[in-house]
């Protein structure tokens, strides 16, 4: 009997150099029976304007402000912001109960006036406008705050409150934990190896078994250390540390790849694919040594539009765990059509 290691047969751990966390890969579990929860199918919104939607043009928001008849993207201050520009500082910390002041700004960005068109369904011009808004908001808020977290929660499964395509931007006067970990890891990698960590990743993964889609400027991969089944990492193939540093051509090619990736996601289970995605760039106001801009996509789905991965049990108490290997996940995403299923003749 051969005991040679095979990544798609033998349990093993992989390390994420960005977060320092590990994932336990258990490919031999892929065939276990499923008797747990079946999520309802997300059939997607069919309407283009919903009179009850607080994000549609011309409608009233929850706090009483009326949206303008916006023709493209629309950014507004979150009516229920998690951070405020001015807040009093808590009392001086003691060694046990540590608190610090937290200020910032939160905005909501409507991707389009169309209530029913998600990123992959937008026209190329409309998708391009979303990229512009991400970059412009980063530049504007980055002038005032060290961290500008651009993200999108998509789908009810991810706790998104409204199907109208939208994302959020939370700028903070502190560097949040995930960004701080990545900052330390990328600076540490540069110090230890004299190279930019994610430049090395992009170079070694281009055209490889974990690539999902690529163009001349960008690369989307299922990272070697992915913990969510169909998690992807979107990387520039050139040197840039922040969204605000992207030039016009790079924004155009980014728009293309975001649509190509999200189209494949939707096609995987022929559903509007839920995920949380967001951008990480070097904190503003300091040097960007070791940094490369990137986006993470964290989708919860596992084996159909109805079956999700739960990060519970061992994942909550020990470390992340996955069954399908990152290589298998990338192969599945490469195998689906590049044309969105709603645009294909049936
Ligand atoms: P999510 O669906 O991703 O949670 O985003 C909705 C955001 O929109 C949420 O942060 C804000 C919520 O506070 N919101 C408004 O600012 N105004 C409203 O009228 C409703 C929702
Ligand atoms: Zn709407």
Is the model's pLDDT at 5 over the cut of 90? yes
- In the structure, what pLDDT confidence band is assigned to residue 328 with cuts at 50, 70 and 90? very high
The per-residue pLDDT for 45 is 46
Tokens of 325: 């290997």
Is the model's pLDDT at 83 over the cut of 90? yes
Q: Reply yes or no on whether 164 is catalytic.
A: no
What would the pLDDT profile of 94-122 be if each residue is shown by its tens digit? 899 999 999 999 999 999 999 999 999 99
The per-residue pLDDT for 159 is 85
Please, are residues 168 and 151 in contact by the beta-carbon 8 Å criterion? Answer: yes
Please, are residues 209 and 246 in contact by the beta-carbon 8 Å criterion? Answer: no
Q: What is the position in ligand 1's atom list of the atom closest to the CA of 61?
A: 19
Handedness of CA 109, 113, 117, 119 (dihedral sign): negative
Sequence spans of domains, the chain: 45-343
- CB of 69 shorter than 6 A to ligand 1: no
Q: What is the position in ligand 1's atom list of the atom closest to the CA of 63?
A: 19
- CB of 78 shorter than 6 A to ligand 1: yes
Please, are residues 121 and 342 in contact by the beta-carbon 8 Å criterion? Answer: yes
- The residue whose CB lies within 8 Å of the most ligand 1 atoms, and thus the one to mutate among 56, 62, 166, is 62
Provide the total of helices (H) and of strands (E) in the chain, helices listed first.
6, 12
- CB of 162 shorter than 6 A to ligand 1: yes
- CB of 77 shorter than 6 A to ligand 1: no
- The residue whose CB lies within 8 Å of the most ligand 1 atoms, and thus the one to mutate among 63, 65, 75, 79, is 79
The per-residue pLDDT for 7 is 94
The CATH code that applies to domain 45-343 is 3.30.428.10
- Average pLDDT across the chain, whole number: 94
């Amino acid at each position: 009997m051969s005991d040679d290691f095979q990544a798609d047969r033998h349990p093993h751990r992989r390390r994420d150099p960005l977060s320092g966390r590990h994932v336990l890969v258990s490919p031999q579990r892929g065939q276990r029976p499923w008797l747990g929860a079946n999520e309802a199918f997300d059939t997607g919104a069919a309407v283009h304007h919903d009179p009850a939607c607080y994000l549609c043009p011309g409608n009233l928001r929850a706090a009483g402000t009326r949206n303008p008849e916006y023709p493209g993207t629309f950014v507004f201050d979150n009516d229920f912001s998690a951070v405020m520009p001015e807040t009093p500082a808590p009392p001086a910390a003691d060694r046990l109960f540590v608190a610090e002041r937290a200020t910032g700004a939160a905005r909501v960005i409507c991707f389009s006036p169309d209530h029913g068109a998600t990123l992959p369904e937008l026209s190329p011009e409309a998708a391009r406008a979303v990229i512009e808004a991400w970059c412009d908001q980063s530049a504007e808020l980055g002038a005032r705050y060290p961290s500008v977290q651009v993200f999108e929660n998509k789908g009810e499964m991810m706790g998104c409150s409204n199907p109208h395509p939208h994302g959020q931007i939370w700028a903070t006067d502190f560097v949040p934990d995930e960004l701080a970990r990545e900052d330390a890891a990328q600076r540490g990698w540069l110090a230890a190896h004299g190279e930019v960590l994610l430049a090395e990743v992009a170079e070694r993964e281009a055209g490889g078994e974990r690539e999902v889609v690529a163009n001349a400027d960008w690369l989307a991969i299922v990272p070697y250390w992915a913990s969510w089944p169909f998690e992807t990492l979107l990387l520039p193939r050139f040197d840039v540390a922040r969204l605000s540093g992207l030039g016009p051509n790079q924004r155009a090619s980014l728009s293309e790849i975001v649509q190509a990736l999200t189209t494949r996601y939707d096609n995987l289970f022929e559903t509007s694919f839920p995920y949380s995605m967001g951008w990480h760039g070097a904190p503003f106001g300091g040097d960007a040594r070791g940094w490369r801009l990137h986006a993470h996509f964290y989708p919860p789905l596992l084996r159909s539009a109805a079956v999700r991965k739960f990060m519970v049990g061992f994942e909550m108490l020990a470390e992340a765990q996955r069954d399908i290997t990152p290589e298998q996940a990338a192969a599945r995403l490469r195998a689906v059509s590049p044309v969105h299923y709603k645009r294909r003749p049936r």
